Amino acid sequence: MAKVVVGVIGSHKNEAKVEQLAHNLGKKLAEVVDNIVCGGLSGVMEAVCKGFKEGGGQTIGIIPCEDKAGANKYCDIIIPTGMGLVRNVLVVKAADILIALPGEYGTLSEIAYGLQYKKPVIGIDTWDIPGVIKVDSVEQAVAKVRELTK
């Protein structure tokens, strides 16, 4: 696959443990792919964007509001939708592979869309759903991305 885009999905709430996981994931993903896409807000989305940018990658935020100012400061490309949670399907469609971190019903909807659209969905400590490729660590998730992009 050329120019693989990995979508990272997870909670918008600020939870230190999950944000550290997302930040580490972003840094490690930057060694494997050039672009990530996410919902562009806080929590997992901000942490993964920060880590990815630190690794030299480009971030894409597809945000639910109409004003680009609603995106986190680590988004390079901001796509304001004004669509609320409906924008979740756009995040999924923009990605070639999804990595799901802990989250609530928004994350659940993105997992479901990913599975419906036959996208590989890798899960770290997230919803236990048939079809999700369960891994136990950032390193395992990145190894799976490498495997899927060969």
| Per-residue pLDDT tens digits for 19-55 | 999 999 999 999 999 999 999 999 999 999 999 999 9
CB-based burial label for 17 (10 Å; 0-12, 13-18, 19+): exposed
Q: What is the pLDDT of residues 97-118, one digit of tens each?
A: 999 999 999 999 999 999 999 9
CB-based burial label for 18 (10 Å; 0-12, 13-18, 19+): buried
Distance of CA 14 to the CA centre of its chain: 15
Q: What is the pLDDT of residues 56-98, one digit of tens each?
A: 999 999 999 999 999 999 999 999 999 999 999 999 999 999 9
Q: What pLDDT score does 2 carry?
A: 57
